[in-house]
Amino acid sequence: MSNNVFDLSGRVAVVTGANTGIGQGIALALAEAGADIAAVGRSEATETAGKVRALGRRCELVSADLSSIEPVSEVVDAIVGKLGRLDILVNNAGIIRRADALDFSEEDWDAVIDTNLKTLFFLSQAAARHMVGWSSQSGLRGKIINIASMLTFQGGIRVPSYTASKSGVGGLTKLLANEWAPRGINVNAIAPGYIATNNTAALQGDETRNRQILERIPEARWGDPADIGGAAVFLASRAADYVQGHILAVDGGWLAR
């Protein structure tokens, strides 16, 4: 075992929604730290896979629609079959629907809750069942990292199901840490602030909104997916073996303002 507590060599990390943005940034950071990657999602993460392989790491693409729990057990079986093990799970995939709370539809409520919270739990459960089997033998802890949100702490507007789901992610992170810490698994979360991705391009392009956002952030800049990647490497590594049930805000100081 390497003396470098951040070294992820020989470990297999699963990242959902790894095709672009934060998911891609996390996958590349974990690969740079030595992990092999399984990229799971509806859209094939071919660009991410190419970049991971260029770093000398293995990358397997696993196609799955995570809007329901139907593919969950097959996803875990496929990853273990292709890469031999499953050490790290990053629950990054998520969706958002916007409408006033007075007008919000049941369809939009269910779609967001199912993807962002229900599937996150059952994929974590399936991965943990695998992790528990080998952690006591190997001496290495399993790591589950959920992607929370600023709306895990705040209410927001016009995103009731998203806010509910991300608040649920925060609570579920703590519950799973309570239950699984004695089983050799660390469960933590990252709450990204405003990150420059395709999903936030409209906000960045809106001169007034962009200025308002930057005025609120002490760092006075948008975050980069690599900023989230660094936090993921920490939580996935032996350096975080004593960190449990924590929600790490990577927000440039947004919550401190």
Report, as residue numbers or ranges, the catalytic residues: 162
Task: Please write down the long-range contacts of 92-96, taking CB distance under 8 Å and 24 or more positions apart.
Answer: 92/15, 92/16, 92/17, 92/18, 92/22, 92/23, 92/26, 92/147, 93/16, 93/17, 93/23, 93/40, 93/41, 93/66, 93/119, 94/17, 94/147, 94/165, 95/67, 96/159, 96/162
| Cβ-proximal residues to 218 (8 Å cutoff; 6+ apart), any chain | 252, 253, 254, 256, 257
- Cα gap 40→170, rounded to integer Å: 22
**Separation between Cα atoms, residue 91 and residue 93, nearest integer Å:** 6
